[in-house]
Amino acid sequence: MICCFNSIKKRRVKLRLILVLIKLSLGFLSQIMLKF
């Protein structure tokens, strides 16, 4: 049970990191578009 719980936690962390990266990339792209 504990092993399964840990694996789920790791997956959630990965998803959170991916979401953060997407948000950062979107912000970066919007800044570039505003400059042009």
Per-residue pLDDT tens over the stretch 13-35:
899 999 999 999 999 999 988 88
Three-state SS for 36? coil
* C-alpha to C-alpha distance for 14 and 3, rounded to whole angstroms: 17
Residues 1-22: what's their mean pLDDT? 83
For residue 2, name the pLDDT band (cuts at 50, 70, 90). Answer: low
**What's the CA gap between 35 and 16, in Å, rounded?**
29
Which one is predicted more confidently, 21 or 7? 21
Rounded to two decimals, the pTM is 0.60
What integer pLDDT is reported at residue 7 of this predicted model? 79
